[in-house]
Structure formats: structure tokens, C-alpha cells
């Protein structure tokens, strides 16, 4: 009983440090969203871990609701209306900040200038888009669109990424075959669109899968932040943590859509003290669970015996 009380107290103390997004309670969260803030929101370090490096970066963007799509810019996204609707219709909506689902026409999407997106993120997006397998297409949560070339122009599809350039040695006798391949490649060449002429549209929930990439540049630990295999939802030994620690809301009453969001990331290693504390809590948790299972078995046995005793009493009568 004492162990159970300690665990409950510990859990509540952790929750008390979490920032509250009241939209979660008002609108709910998409079922696929499994992320939670991995470190305290008061700026302190996660307990039991050494911070190898920590880096934050702020980004300028715009936040629209789907009901804004038919309106002309800057209040809406009319030139990309059909393209955005088609893109989102093919994919499961992954939520806004904290996975919130405002549902229907109130669902939100973030819009950024392509040049304002970090290079590491751009490269990751294009790498995903080059994989044209149907099973992967649904994971293209970032839609890259070209800006209209003239007034009244409409955009109906995403920008295709440039092919991956690989330098491979040419074996003797293969020059003619390579030349034929080069000519065929020229016919299939993807038109190149300048970075300044592109935007990217995505639900805010899409960034949670790749957050360390957003703050990798200038962090001092690019190697860790660019290695998404180390990126975890909660702190473990030799892991990378990240979270959008702040995101503003647009002043929609004034027709504004501008927002700023800040991502904080860190590379952590478990300390010896942290490891001992973790093992203690894990042992206590196992003990509590074991006691609960034993109690449940005893209750079942007791109920079974009582039922058997009842049957015997009826038989004797």
C-alpha cells in the first residue's frame, strides 16, 4: 500500500510540471498521437540524466484552418485550395499542436516558406517523397507546393523532388549504354523550382516525428540530432529528446495568420544516480503489480470455494 502511494505521488509530481494545452480537453486528440513532453516545462533538466548538449530554435510560420482555404491570401490559401484538400484527403490527419483535433473545417495546418525550413528537414522531406511506394506515400505529411506564377493562377499538385544524384564509376564498354540512359533521363527530368518559389504545408502534429532535425544546425551535437534512431518519446540512456516548448496563436480577429513556434532539443545520458533511482522505482512497480496479481488470485480462489461450498450445501439438502 505504501509503495502504491509513493508511485502515485511520484506520478502526480511529474504531471505538475507539464504545460497544459486546454484544447486537448475541449477538442480531444487524434488516436495516433502518442507523444508527451519529455522534460519539465520550467527549464530544468530531466531528473537522473546528464545533458550532453541542448539547443533551441524559433521559426516563423502561418497557421490556417481548413475553412480558410477558399479565401485569398494572406487570410486564406485560395491558389492551393484544391491541391491542399487533395493532399490531406489521401492521409490520416495527425493533429495540430499536442495532437489536438479541432475536427472538420476547424482543423489546422501550418504553412511555411520553404527557405525558412532547416536544410536537414528539407532533405528528409525530399527523401521521403522520392520513395514512391504506395505504403510510403501516406507518410508524406509535408506537402511542398510551388507559388503561383501570376495573379489568378492555381496550383494543383505538389512539387516533385529532384532525383538523387549518385556518382558511380562507369565500367569499360558501358559508355554507350550510359549515354542512352542519360538521354532517357533528360526526357524524364523533373522541372526545378527555386527554393524561394516554394511553400510547405503540414499539420503541426507532423513535426513530432522529426523534431531534432529542426534544431540540429548550430546545436554542437548535429551527429546526435540528425540520428533519428536516438530520438525517443521519453528519456532513456543515450537518447535525444525534443518538444515544441512554445507556439503562439494567430490573431484571427484581425485577419492575421502569423505564428511563431519554438523547438527545444537535448541529447542526454543517464547518470549513475539516475540509474539507481530508476531501478528502485522499477523494482517497486514490479512489487506492486505482483501483490495486485496475488490479491486477485486469492479473491478468485475465495470466490471459487464459496461457490463450491454453496453447491455442496444444496446437494446435502
- The model's pTM is 0.75
Residue-level pLDDT at 274? 57
Q: Which residues contact 185 (CB under 8 A, 6 or more apart)?
A: 163
Cell 473545417 belongs to 105
Gyration radius of the chain over CA positions? 27
Q: Which three cell numbers stand for residue 267?
A: 541529447
Q: CB–CB of 112/61 below 8 Å?
A: yes
Partnered with residue 200 across adjacent β-strands are: 112, 144
Cα 307 from chain centre: 53
3-state helix/strand/coil string of 228-263? HHHECCCCCCCEEEEEEEEECCCCHHHCCCEEEEEE
pLDDT tens, the chain, 317 aa long: 444 444 333 343 433 334 578 899 999 999 999 999 999 888 788 888 899 999 999 999 999 999 999 999 999 999 999 999 999 998 999 999 999 999 999 999 999 999 999 999 999 999 988 887 766 665 689 999 999 988 889 999 999 888 876 655 555 555 555 555 554 444 457 778 999 999 999 999 999 999 999 999 999 999 999 999 999 999 998 999 999 999 999 999 999 999 999 999 999 998 877 566 655 666 677 777 777 888 888 788 888 877 876 655 555 54
Taken in order 88, 94, 96, 100, is the CA torsion positive or negative? positive
Instruction: Give the Cα separation of 257 and 76 in Å (integer).
Output: 9
Q: Is cis: bond before 74, omega within 30 of 0? A: yes
Burial of residue 233 (CB within 10 Å: 0-12, 13-18, 19+) is: middle
Cα 303 from chain centre: 48
Sort residue 142 into left (φ over 0), alpha (ψ -120 to 50) or beta.
beta
Partnered with residue 240 across adjacent β-strands are: 231, 267
Amino acid at each position: 500500500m505504501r509503495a502504491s502511494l509513493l508511485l502515485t505521488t511520484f506520478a502526480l509530481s511529474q504531471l505538475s510540471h507539464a504545460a497544459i494545452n486546454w484544447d486537448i480537453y475541449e477538442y480531444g486528440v487524434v488516436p495516433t498521437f502518442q507523444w508527451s513532453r519529455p522534460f519539465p516545462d520550467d527549464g530544468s533538466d530531466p531528473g537522473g540524466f546528464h545533458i550532453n548538449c541542448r539547443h533551441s530554435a524559433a521559426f516563423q510560420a502561418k497557421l490556417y484552418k481548413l475553412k480558410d482555404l477558399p479565401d485569398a491570401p494572406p487570410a486564406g490559401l485560395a491558389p492551393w485550395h484544391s491541391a491542399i484538400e487533395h493532399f490531406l484527403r489521401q492521409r490520416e490527419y495527425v493533429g495540430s499542436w499536442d495532437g489536438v483535433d479541432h475536427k472538420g473545417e476547424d482543423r489546422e495546418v501550418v504553412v511555411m516558406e520553404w527557405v525558412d525550413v532547416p536544410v536537414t528537414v528539407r532533405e528528409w522531406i525530399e527523401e521521403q517523397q522520392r520513395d514512391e511506394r504506395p505504403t510510403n506515400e501516406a507518410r508524406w505529411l509535408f506537402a511542398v507546393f510551388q507559388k503561383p506564377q501570376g495573379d489568378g493562377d492555381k496550383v494543383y499538385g505538389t512539387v516533385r523532388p529532384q532525383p538523387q544524384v549518385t556518382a558511380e564509376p562507369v565500367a569499360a564498354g558501358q559508355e554507350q549504354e550510359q549515354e542512352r540512359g542519360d538521354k532517357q533521363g533528360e526526357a524524364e527530368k523533373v522541372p526545378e523550382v527555386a527554393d524561394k518559389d516554394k511553400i510547405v504545408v503540414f499539420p503541426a502534429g507532423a513535426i513530432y516525428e522529426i523534431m531534432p532535425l529542426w534544431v540540429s544546425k548550430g546545436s554542437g551535437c548535429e551527429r546526435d540530432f540528425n540520428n533519428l534512431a536516438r530520438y525517443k518519446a521519453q528519456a532513456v540512456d543515450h537518447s535525444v529528446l525534443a518538444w515544441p516548448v512554445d507556439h503562439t496563436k494567430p490573431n484571427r480577429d484581425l485577419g492575421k495568420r502569423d505564428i511563431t513556434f519554438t523547438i527545444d532539443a537535448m541529447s542526454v545520458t543517464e547518470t549513475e544516480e539516475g540509474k539507481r533511482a530508476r531501478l528502485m522505482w522499477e523494482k517497486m512497480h514490479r512489487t506492486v503489480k505482483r501483490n495486485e496479481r496475488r490479491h486477485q488470485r486469492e479473491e478468485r480462489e475465495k470466490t471459487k470455494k464459496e461457490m463450491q461450498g454453496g453447491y455442496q450445501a444444496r446437494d446435502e439438502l
